[in-house]
Chain A
Amino acid sequence: MTTFPDTLGRFGRYGGKFVPETLMAALDELEREYNSAKKAPAFREELERLLKTYVGRPTPIYHAENLTRQLGGAEIYIKREDLAHTGAHKINNALGQALLARRLKKTRIIAETGAGQHGVATATVCAKLGLQCIVYMGEVDIARQASNVYRMKLLGAEVRSVTSGSRTLKDAINETIRDWVANVETSHYIIGSVVGPHPYPVMVRDFQSVIGQEARAQFQGLTGGLPDAAVACVGGGSNAMGLFSGFINDPSVRLIGVEAAGDGVNTPKHAATLTKGRPGVLHGSYSYLLQDENGQVQEAHSISAGLDYPGVGPEHSYLKDAERAQYVAITDEEALQGFDLLARSEGILPALEPAHAIAHLRALARELGRGKKILLLLSGRGDKDLNTVASARGVRL
């Protein structure tokens, strides 16, 4: 499990580098620099120092007693990435890649964002490290994540609206890749998830693996053992890979990824790539993909902008086929119930992305039963989603 990816960037049959030739040299350079940086004490020390003093790591784990009682089954523990600086796990990766960009002597940073959390995290680290920052964001997402757009601007980033295709995350990635092709010699592309061409899926996973490493040690400290299940939401899948990487060699720990079922997996409007897709190539890697019978990529749908993506990281595809991880799907409506559940029981407004994972706890806590333990990754806080939640309920703010 830990030997992947291979030298071609493959996790089993998934992954690879399916990009225009212009980018290939930059990917090779990035891979070399990343491999040298991760062994370089100075790089590691700076990253660890900033994760501690700037991001606020380690983020805590706590026993969610009210939620446990309410669901009446397995004990629920929550890893609080919502408490990281900028309010989500995205900054772990953005910081690592920005430090890497500095080693590459690239001063112009480009990024895509869906929910805006990766855009905010990237804008934040660029402000901190003195790098120029341009964020591509779909027009639809700009409308539903207005406060994050403004946050990025306040942090000095330029937000470029993407009006092609579905005008969401997929198209924002297309446009960022197009920018990168034109500016590859001066720019580094900070991809926000475990997607894209090699080395991004492994690099982003590694930068997010701090979640799983901390969580494993914290959980053992708190309970004296390991969880029976570790649960996280999956759009591209970076928070889930970060968590899973800490437990991948613990066969007793079930790894569960929760996708967005939108209106339902048997409707045309969902984002349940692993549940309903079939393998194909999008954005540089071979992985499960929502596509029609002619190989055209289909538009995803989710109430949560961060899960609204028709692809998924290649390592998730591998873990699914290898049956090391299990993937389930939760509808928009169920996610809203998950949102309420955590808000009322624990006093935490979750982002709509992890609200999908929370919603799955109802079934999972019962299935595992009393005496078992579930570790939930709360990947981000819900402030950004207040408008979406309100409008789903017909409330005007």
Chain B
Amino acid sequence: MQGLFFYLFGTVAVISALLTITRRDPVTSAFWLIFCFLNVAALFATLSAHLIAVLQILIYAGAIMVFFLFVTMFLGKEKRSAERPNPVVFGVGVLTVGAIAGGLMRLVRSGSHDFGEVGPEHGTIEAVSRLLLSNYLFAFELTGLLLTVAMVGAVLLARREAKGARATRTPAGAPSGPAGVEEVADA
């Protein structure tokens, strides 16, 4: 049963990942990427990594993709990348992916790995939070500081655009930012 779900979600994830990189329209790509993330989340869930499955949906399919779509639609879709990919880059990409995939296949087939068995409770929310608040307490608390830094930085940079929009005198030759951003700052 688990095998069936694995192949189902795995196949769909790979197909939607391929569609993500082959669609011309960035918005279409983004939606395929969301679909890919959802399938990966389902894979996590079948591995009883509940917390990661939930985070995958909340953060990747939710927050990051909404942000991504917002920026894409906001900047306008007129600049679609119409040109074909550079064949050299394409070839190198295919070779690299092939090499990594081949290496992973060999590793799995050879059986010379000891990932170790984990119980069904291994990835539950309770197990992960226990780890976060014991072994990784310091890193967890430090993440709070990291978020504070990001917030202070965002305030600093965002306020700059707002000021640029209102300033009567902008330095010569230095536009204070893309016009669209200033409109938002004014609003």
A and B interact physically: no
Interface positions of B (Cβ within 8 A of A): none
Interface positions of A (Cβ within 8 A of B): none
